[in-house]
Amino acid sequence: METKWLEDFVSLAETRSFSRSALLRHVTQPAFSRRIQSLEAWAGSDLVDRSSYPTRLTAAGETLYAQALEMLQALQSTRAMLRGHATAAQDVIEFAVPHTLAFTFFPAWVSALRDTFGPIKSRLIALNVHDAVMRLVEGSCDLLIAYHHPSQPNQLDADRYEMVSLGEEVVAPYAKPDAHGRPLFELPGKADRPLPYLGYAQGAYLGQMVALILKHCSAPIHFDRVYETDMAEGLKAMAIEGHGVAFLPLSAVRTELRTHKLVSAAPPELRDMSINMEVRVYRERPAQRETLKSGSGAGRVAGAAPKRSAQALWDYLAAQASTS
């Protein structure tokens, strides 16, 4: 039995909706249903009455719901104590960050932060977008840094989480230059000679952004996908070696553009071959944590109180955002 099954079950007991809980738990509805079924198999009893709408718990389900809240709260409290032992002296701020931002945005951002805010001690947890969001949802980090675009919101509940905008990121196509400084592969390509395309793996957040660019492009783009990975740094390395066109965040290629290892693969007439995203930092609202601790949080498990260093950093970021 996995603790995430209990967390899924608690969510279902509160929302009375498989689709709503799947959304809140950041999984597909079929995957969410399978996890509930796995919990029922472990329990040896039906926990959900699927013949009614809204969904209701069976008698066994009601019993498990009460016990699940206690078990999850005990586990959360134990983890908070253990984390307190590990970091109390250092007061390290733990960041959950998607891989691309971890490589491109985070190092320069921390450097600038130290010049203005002061020294910080940080621990970076680099993950895919889904798992980074879940770190925050499960209380396993202090702050989440992630991309945001209206077409692909992360579905974090604004009543439970607050955010501060850290700036913007631009994704655009790049390629290795030839001896004359022109891109080896220049968009849009031709139907009989498609350009070698270095793409993101299925499900990657930046891949979804690229799909949006191509969908709204003013001219047909002719690509032959020759390579894929879920990390921008992997695509950049292949583009530098001349293997094709890659759509990359500007923060990932600033040095390569300056040293002429990469150039834009989009001619001036294709001005719509880029997309702007916001970079945001999120945290759980302290007031929400106190509500959960007091027992009026609809059964959610409360996280630990914000660290002093994380609170101070958040106050600084919020103040900077309000004056910009």
pLDDT, tens digit, for every residue of 207-261?
999 999 999 998 899 999 999 998 899 999 999 999 999 999 999 999 999 999 9
SS3 of 15, please? Answer: helix
Please classify residue 313 by burial: count the beta carbons closer than 10 Å to its beta carbon, then call 0-12 exposed, 13-18 middle and 19+ buried.
buried
Reading the block at residue 40, the tokens are 């029922």
SS3 of 255, please? Answer: helix
Q: What's this model's pTM, rounded to 2 decimal places?
A: 0.69
Q: How far is CA 278 from the centre of its chain?
A: 12
CA dihedral 61, 66, 67, 71 (to 10 degrees): 130
Distance, CA of 180 to CA of 263 (rounded, Å)? 11
Backbone angles phi and psi of 303, in degrees to 5: -95, 180
DSSP 41-69: HHHTS--EETTSSS-EE-HHHHHHHHHHH
pLDDT digit string (tens) for 41-59?
888 888 988 776 778 889 9
Alpha carbons within 13 angstroms on the beta-carbon side of residue 22 total 13
Distance, CA of 206 to CA of 200 (rounded, Å)? 7
pLDDT one digit per residue (tens) for the chain, 324 residues: 688 888 888 988 888 888 888 888 888 888 888 899 989 888 888 898 877 677 888 999 889 888 888 888 888 777 766 666 554 545 889 999 999 999 889 999 999 998 899 988 999 999 888 889 888 988 889 999 999 999 888 778 888 999 999 999 999 999 999 999 999 999 999 999 999 999 999 888 999 999 999 999 988 999 999 999 988 999 999 999 999 999 999 999 999 999 999 999 999 888 889 999 999 999 998 865 554 444 434 444 445 566 788 999 999 999 988 876
